[in-house]
Amino acid sequence: MPTLCVQCSKDRAVIVRPKNHQKLCKKCFITTFETEIHFTITSNNLFQRGERVAIGASGGKDSTVLASVLKTLNARYDYGVELLLLSVDEGIRGYRDDSLETVKRNAVQYEMPLTIVGYDELYGWTMDQVVEQVGKKGNCTYCGVFRRQALDRGAATLGVEHVVTGHNADDMAETVLMNLLRGDIARLSRTTSIITSTPSATAVANPNVLANIKRSKPLKYAYEKEIVLYAHHMSLDYFSTECIYSPEAFRGSARALIKNLERIRPSTILDIVRSGEDMARLCPGYEDNCRAGCNTAAQGEEEEAGCGSSVGRSAGGEMQKLEAILAQQHISEDGNSNGHSIEVEVKKVVTRVSKVKPSKKAPVQQTVGQCEKCGYMSSQRVCKACVLLEGLNKARPKTGIHIADGYI
Ligand SMILES: Nc1ncnc2c1ncn2[C@@H]1O[C@H](COP(=O)(O)OP(=O)(O)OP(=O)(O)O)[C@@H](O)[C@H]1O
């Protein structure tokens, strides 16, 4: 006797929600997943009618699901926003060039205009060249800092003031835990925010600077496993290969820790995210930050410094395992699986957690200014990207710092 969906009590349950172990049919899972994202959007006032919103599109599962869900919700609930795709070409041959082909197909599938900005044109360096120079270790830092600016610069070129990214609950939980393990409560407060935006003073003083760009994460409370399940059941076209360069070891360790906890407590991911939010509220200056638009842009500058979460994730290869299992399940036309287990249990990932030195730093509140070299918002005299570029360009004495014209 097949298990029936606990929501409609009609169709056969084909999914055990990783979040709460609820057994749902395909239709109810899809509706529930979309409705929860809608709730995140409306309860946090993420969108304004008439707004042009650029989706940071990497071709991976998170941003593809984000684009698909936003298209659906925008039509279903009439948000009245204009959706565009914005991709950054980091210049990683055999990885980003392939994933950008997926984004190009997505642009056609979702009828959204696509803009691609490249590290090459913006900074004079591709990631392949950066790795050639600095080696694989630590290259994620360059990529993360450059990507953040590249998205803002792309948005500025398009005249778009809001960029949404596919960061999910797993990413958020990992970031909370990493900051906690580093003893960096100030950063913890900055990274838990669903919206990062620019303090109005900077924007008013310089209406055309890049600082005036809002970032938000509509998938902040969505479990990564559910994102993969949604992509699978909606037959979305996404690119699942991970970055060819070295994983960010610390994030991988935080992830492994969370995964182990999740085995005995399914709500672990959301619990960590909520705890991060609660701790952020206790952080000195939280109220001021929120009044200024819930987290300043310069703070955002370091928010995702380091490579994205996907690489750290590859330490356990968990999502690939899930994707492989889903592919084997041969979901039939009516959405029923062929009898395999509908819950995907993830094998224990054995990763050594490196020692974390206690930080003696007191939480520091930062003030936003502009980088004196490129004009990007920064809490320092020179922004992180320019500092990194300066280091890189030392090996290229004739090149000088290359920040694309028109942004300074
Ligand atoms: N090259 C890129 N171009 C545009 N947006 C990007 C790019 N890389 C990452 N992003 C944005 O940042 C989010 C988080 O990136 P991350 O590197 O953590 O990848 P991820 O979690 O695997 O996401 P995805 O599955 O969308 O690739 C992505 O969902 C996307 O919105």
ipTM: 0.97
C-beta separation of 276 from 178 below 8 A: no
- pLDDT for 171 equals 94
- pLDDT for 400 equals 45
- pLDDT for 201 equals 39
Ligand 1 binding pocket includes 216 (Cβ within 6 Å): no
Assess if residue 43 is contained within a domain. yes
Q: Going by C-beta distance under 8 Å and a sequence separation of 6 or more, which residues neighbour residue 140?
A: 245, 246, 247, 248, 306, 307, 311
Q: Does the annotation list 88 as a binding residue?
A: yes
Going from the C-alpha of 91 to that of each of 130, 153, 314, 328, the distances in angstroms are 10, 17, 20, 33
Assess if residue 11 is contained within a domain. no
Ligand 1 binding pocket includes 56 (Cβ within 6 Å): yes
Q: Does the annotation list 62 as a binding residue?
A: yes
Say how many Å lie between the CA of residue 308 and the centre of ligand 1: 7
Percentage above 70 pLDDT, the chain: 75
Which ligand 1 atom minimizes the distance to the CA of 90?
1
Say how many Å lie between the CA of residue 61 and the centre of ligand 1: 9
Q: Does the annotation list 354 as a binding residue?
A: no
Q: Does the annotation list 56 as a binding residue?
A: yes
Which ligand 1 atom minimizes the distance to the CA of 164?
31
Average pLDDT on 385-394 reads 92
Range of the domain at 209: 27-352+359-368
pLDDT tier at 376 (50, 70, 90 boundaries)?
A: confident
- pLDDT for 357 equals 55
Strands 82-89 and 23-24: unpaired
Ligand 1 binding pocket includes 308 (Cβ within 6 Å): yes
Assess if residue 169 is contained within a domain. yes
| Whole-number average pLDDT of the chain | 81
Assess if residue 119 is contained within a domain. yes
CATH number at residue 152: 3.40.50.620
Pick 117 or 377 by higher pLDDT.
117
Going from the C-alpha of 191 to that of each of 31, 83, 137, 188, the distances in angstroms are 29, 25, 24, 5
Say how many Å lie between the CA of residue 6 and the centre of ligand 1: 33
Measured in residues, the chain has a length of: 408
Assess if residue 395 is contained within a domain. no
Sign of the Cα torsion 238, 241, 246, 248 reads positive
Q: Going by C-beta distance under 8 Å and a sequence separation of 6 or more, which residues neighbour residue 305?
A: 141, 144, 145, 148, 384
**Residue nearest atom 15 of ligand 1, based on CA coordinates:** 308
Assess if residue 373 is contained within a domain. no
The most confident of the ranges 62-66, 154-158, 364-368 is 62-66
Cα distance between residue 347 and residue 43, in whole Å: 36
pLDDT score of 226 more than 60: yes
Cα distance between residue 366 and residue 376, in whole Å: 15
Burial class of 407 by CB neighbour count within 10 A (0 to 12, 13 to 18, 19+): middle
Average pLDDT on 323-327 reads 80
Going from the C-alpha of 216 to that of each of 194, 219, 372, 383, the distances in angstroms are 5, 9, 26, 22
The most confident of the ranges 54-58, 305-309, 312-316 is 54-58
Assess if residue 7 is contained within a domain. no
Lowest mean pLDDT among 1-15, 94-108, 281-295: 281-295
Cα distance between residue 129 and residue 92, in whole Å: 9
**Residue nearest atom 7 of ligand 1, based on CA coordinates:** 58
Assess if residue 390 is contained within a domain. no
177, two tokens: 């835990």
- How many domains does the chain contain in total? 1
Ligand 1 binding pocket includes 255 (Cβ within 6 Å): no
Q: Does the annotation list 59 as a binding residue?
A: no
Cα distance between residue 340 and residue 332, in whole Å: 12
Cα distance between residue 299 and residue 367, in whole Å: 9
Is this model's pTM higher than 0.90 or not? no
Pocket residue to mutate for ligand 1, from 61, 62, 158, 246, most atoms within 8 A of Cβ: 62
Average pLDDT on 170-175 reads 95
Ligand 1 binding pocket includes 306 (Cβ within 6 Å): no
C-beta separation of 148 from 300 below 8 A: yes
Ligand 1 binding pocket includes 310 (Cβ within 6 Å): yes
